Structures are given as structure tokens and as C-alpha cells.
Structure 1
């Protein structure tokens, strides 16, 4: 979907497109980190950026959908989030960040996009990527059905170079009670999670 299609999807959403909280795996990883600067890539309606800001992070939320960012800004109140309308292929932060998060960013060039955003991580900083795994199709989980834009652990691990230490890179299954699985989804969903630290 391009920016115009996402704008339309956000315009049509009465209660928001996503759950109100970030994915549980993102919350678990971030809780163990000392707050600093963060970039939330493909922030959408800003749920991850807002959650981080509430916990002391100085956050930049980036998305190419103007409608998504309008919702994000309206919901954010006076928190420490800077909302930026941009495409991840063209934009980069003015300075490296202590935490870079990308939730459900699915592109035809996934590996190169992840490699690009990994450049934004400061030495000692953390990269967290979570998205639909290719096995999600067979599992019947919600999400894209085009395997060309879905993740595998091998794809995400291979997007990083020797500057990163991979703490975790694996498939995870979210049960039907997970907050992400709204609107009567009857099947578990399979994601890929990458957690890496830039060591030099």
C-alpha cells in the first residue's frame, strides 16, 4: 500500500487501525533500557512512540501517511514526540538514536530497508524489528498475504552487518487473546522478532 492508500485506511477507521499499546515484545525489550533518544519507524497512529514518550524517551515518530500522523498528534497531547512525515527510503535522523523501532514495516525491499534504518542506531543502542512472518500465511493469521513482503528470521538477521550483536531473532506466535488480534481474528499470528545491539 502506498501513502494515499494508507491515508484512506486511516480516514475510514473509526476506532483506529491498531491496538492502543505497542506489541508486547517491544514493551518487554524497551522496559529494560535506559530512556534516551528513539526513532519509531512507520509509526502509524503513534502507539509505540507515545508509549516510549510516556516512559521518558525523546521520540521521533516517522510515517508517510499524513492521516496517520494527524491521529498520532491528536492523541499525543504534550508528550515528547516529534512527528515527521517522510518515507524511510528518503529520510534519516539528524543524529543517531539510542533506540530504533520498526513495527510491521513491510516493503518490497525489506532487507535493504532494515539495513538502512539500522544505520540510525547509535553505538551501544538497540534495534527492534517486529513484523509478520512468512509462516503467518499458512497459519491463517491476519496481515499481508504476499510472501515477498513478509519476514523470516534469516532475512532480518541477514540485513545486519558485523557492527551488531543479535540478542534475539526468531519466530513468535501471538495467540488470539493478544491485543493485536482484534476484530474477531480467530487464528494465532506468526511474527518475526529481531532484537540487536550496535556494538561498534
Structure 2
């Protein structure tokens, strides 16, 4: 989907497309970190950026959908986040940050995009990526059905160089209680999660 299609989807939604909380694994990893500066990549209608801001992070949420960003900014606490309309292929932060989070960003050039956003992480900072795993198709979970844009642990691990220490890179099963969409899921889904720290 391009920006225009996402704008249409957000405008058609009642109060937003996504759940109001980030995925459980993102909350687990980021919740253990001391607040600093953060970028939420492909923020959509803002759930992860807002969650981080509520916990003391100085947060920027970027997305190429102006309609999604408008929903995010209108949510309670929306004025605590810097919302930026930008494409992940073109955005350049003013400075590196302590945390970069990407939830369900699926592109034709996934590995290159992850490598690019990893450049925004400061030394000592953290990168967290979660997205639909290619095995999610066979499992029947919600999400894209094109394997070319889905993740595997090998893909995410290979997107980073030796400046990063990988803490975790694996498949995770997201249960129906850890919803991605506001109206929940009928069955579990398979994701891939990457948690890495920049060491130099």
C-alpha cells in the first residue's frame, strides 16, 4: 500500500486502525530501558510513540500517511510527541537517538530499510523491530500474504553489521490477547522480533 491508500484506510477507520498498546514484546524490551530519545518508525496512528512518551521518552513518530499522523496527534498525549510526515527511505534525524522502534514495517527492501533505520541508533542505544514472519501465512494469522515483504530471523539478523550486538532475534507467537488491530484477532499470529544494541 502506498501513502494514499493508507490515508484512505485511516480516514475510514473509527478512531484508528491499530490497537492502543504496542505489541507485548516491544513493551517488555522498551519498558526495561531508561527513558531517553526515541524514534518510532512507521508510527501509523501513534500507539507506540504515545506509549513511549507516556513513559518519559522524548519521542518522534514518523510515517508517510498524513491521515494516520492526524489521528495520532489527536489522541490524548499527542502533543507530547513530535509527529513527522516522512518516508523511511528519505528521513534523516537531526541526531542519533537512544531507541529506534519499528512495528510492522513491510517493504520490498526490508533488509535495506532496517539497515537504514539502524543508522539512527546512538552508540549504546537500542533497536527493536517486530513484524509479520513469513511463516505467518501458513499459520493463517492476520497480515500480508506476500512472502517477499515478510520477515525471517535470518533477514533481520543479516540487516545489521558488527556495530550491533544482537540480544534477541527469533520468531514469537502473538496470542489473540496481544492484538495488533483494534478489533483483535481470531487466532494467534507468528512474528519475528529483533532486539539489538549498538556497541560502536
The TM-score, its normalising length taken from structure 1, stands at 0.97
Q: Relative to structure 1, is the Cα distance of residues 97 and 129 closer, same or farther in structure 2, using a 3 angstrom cutoff?
A: same
1:111 is matched with 111
Q: 1:173, 1:189 within 8 Å by CA — same for their partners in 2?
A: yes
Aligned length: 200
Secondary structure of residue in 2 paired with 1:95: coil
Moved more, 113-122 or 15-24: 15-24
| Partners of 1:56 and 1:183 in 2: CA distance | 28
Q: State the Cα RMSD in Å.
A: 1.2
Secondary structure of residue in 2 paired with 1:195: strand
Moved more, 31-40 or 68-77: 68-77
Residues 1:123 and 2:123 aligned together: yes
Unaligned stretches of 5+ residues in structure 1: none
Misfit runs of 4+, over 6 Å: none
Unaligned stretches of 5+ residues in structure 2: none
Per-residue displacement from partner, 1:167-194 (whole Å, max 9, x unpaired)?
A: 0000000122223265463221000000
Q: 1:102, 1:130 within 8 Å by CA — same for their partners in 2?
A: yes
Per-residue displacement from partner, 1:17-60 (whole Å, max 9, x unpaired)?
A: 10000111111111110100000000001110000001100000
| Partners of 1:79 and 1:166 in 2: CA distance | 33
Q: 2:54, 2:77 within 8 Å by CA — same for their partners in 1?
A: no
Q: 2:17, 2:181 within 8 Å by CA — same for their partners in 1?
A: no
1:32 is matched with 32
Secondary structure of residue in 2 paired with 1:87: coil
1:79 is displaced (CA, Å) by 4.4
